[in-house]
Amino acid sequence: MIEEVDDPEVVLVEGEPPAGFALIGWVDGNLHLDQLAVHPESMRQGIGGRLVTAVIEHARAAGAPAVTLTTYRDVPWNAPWYERHGFAVMPEAEWGPELRALVEHERELGIEVAPRVVMRR
């Protein structure tokens, strides 16, 4: 069962103890998936997919026009996995100022050790 944790940024959690979570916030008026993680012992059981579905449902309920995220382009459980869940690469020309600042901040932190993309659903 996925449960919502009350916080300024919403955390969706599955399992007791938690086997996975999704951290979401708002970027340029869209719901933004900041992080999705599943405990290694709980992988390949559909938890990530259920969490993404919960994020999308939360976005719809909140009236968000889209869900955005940043991820590694070529890692199989990153961009290709999100594509299977209906996300597509978002062209840089369509990034809003907050999303652009977030990507720049990731670069400053050194997260861009491999090609990254912004995705939207």
Averaged over successive runs of 10 residues, the pLDDT of the chain (121 residues) comes to 53 78 94 92 88 94 96 89 96 96 89 84 97
Whole-number pLDDT of residue 5: 46
Whole-number pLDDT of residue 68: 98
How big is the chain, counted in residues? 121
Facing residues of 121 across strands? none
Residue with tokens 């990254």: 116
What is d(CA 80, CA 65) in angstroms, rounded to the nearest whole number?
22
Using an 8 Å Cβ cutoff, are 98 and 28 in contact? yes
Whole-number pLDDT of residue 41: 86
- The pTM (predicted TM-score) of the whole model is 0.86
> What are the chain's domains?
2-120 (3.40.630.30)
Whole-number pLDDT of residue 113: 65
Whole-number pLDDT of residue 86: 97
Whole-number pLDDT of residue 25: 93
| DSSP-assigned states of every residue in the chain | -EEEEPSSSEEEEETTTTSEEEEEEEETTEEEEEEEEE-GGGTTSSHHHHHHHHHHHHHHHHT-S-EEEEEESS-TTSHHHHHHTT-EEPPGGG--HHHHHHHHHHHHHT--SS-EEEEE-
